[in-house]
Structure 1
């Protein structure tokens, strides 16, 4: 779905310009996104398998919930909205814990350059997996896996084609942040 988004400079600062998401991707303009990582107190992390119809990284496993921030939209409100849309869970902004902002650049093709600043949050998952409702157009599957298994898979050579290729720094920060809360 195309939407109006804010445009950032290469340092992540707002430029007071907006564009449609498709144009930002075509021209490689930086823009903000949200990433929400859900974890359980018994040491598991919720991962999402991207829909087979996604333009980028179809069927790869990724962050629990992710999405673009609408132009002028509050970051935490955007995160809450994306959570409800993608996994059918209603939370309050106070349940989110921001852990950082991560610069990401992915050239998918000549006409698709994803330049994003991911505003990353943690949130404790307090409901069983079967209570979540996946958004069919975005989410193929949901899985709770141990943080140990997740760590081994994102750093191991055996699963290079399983996960969206975020930077090692990004994945290490997520794992460390979750470990610190257990």
Structure 2
């Protein structure tokens, strides 16, 4: 298992998402702007709620923001789905199976942060139904300051709420909203 305290070893990718065969520490990849893989897992409920995570105030980017249910880096040599399952267990303390993850796409994310971090990532985006009570979730204190269920429409709002999601990623949130809606309508 990888740990927050450890500077994770990750695979370095080309801008097109192909393996370069090289690995580096996450901090090096962020310093140099090297592409790498992450997993985003959006948990929804059958009654049209979305689980949002309040990012820990100690996070280097977007601290204190209500954001994606679970997100994290894929370790060197780690399968994307295995990495997604690991991140879910680490951040919110539940085990999910591969069949629970519905991949809805991969998006290229490129952001230069004021603190010097160059985020050049391939986000592997999944949706999955939250089948347990939120009170049973266990937050990883280094990563998560809060967990709440919000109305699914929060992903579709063009006006941002203070500290809830990030307006510049509205198109991304809208696409997640559309995929969850489609899934709920088909079940």
TM interval, shorter chain, is over 0.9
Decide which moves more: 162-171 or 25-34.
162-171
Q: Structure 2 length normalisation: TM-score?
A: 0.91
Alignment counterpart, residue 175 of structure 2, candidates 173, 176, 181: 173
Q: Which residue of 2 aligns with 1:20?
A: 25
Deviation at 1:56, TM superposition (A): 0.7
Q: Which residue of 1 aligns with 2:49?
A: 44
Structure 2 alignment gaps of length 5 or more: none
Cα distance in structure 2, aligned partners of 1:28 and 1:180: 35
Q: Which residue of 1 aligns with 2:126?
A: 121
What is the alpha-carbon root mean square deviation over aligned residues? 1.4
Deviations for 1:50-91, whole angstroms, at most 9, x for unmatched residues? 001111110001110000000010111101100000000111
SS of alignment partner, residue 156 of structure 2: helix
Deviation at 1:110, TM superposition (A): 5.9
Decide which moves more: 158-167 or 94-103.
158-167
How many residues matched? 179
Consecutive aligned runs of 4 or more in structure 1 exceeding 4 Å deviation: none
Deviations for 1:118-165, whole angstroms, at most 9, x for unmatched residues? 00001100011101111111000001011123422xx21x42643245
Alignment counterpart, residue 39 of structure 2, candidates 22, 34, 38: 34
Q: Which residue of 1 aligns with 2:148?
A: 143
Deviation at 1:8, TM superposition (A): 0.9
Does the alignment pair 1:76 with 2:55?
A: no
Cα distance in structure 1, aligned partners of 2:154 and 2:61: 25
SS of alignment partner, residue 10 of structure 2: strand
Deviations for 1:85-110, whole angstroms, at most 9, x for unmatched residues? 00001111111010000100111136
Q: Is the 8 A contact 2:70 2:91 kept in 1?
A: yes
Q: Which residue of 2 aligns with 1:66?
A: 71
Q: Which residue of 2 aligns with 1:107?
A: 112
Alignment counterpart, residue 92 of structure 1, candidates 76, 85, 97: 97
Q: Structure 1 length normalisation: TM-score?
A: 0.93
Cα distance in structure 2, aligned partners of 1:167 and 1:181: 22
Deviation at 1:14, TM superposition (A): 1.4
Q: Which residue of 2 aligns with 1:10?
A: 15
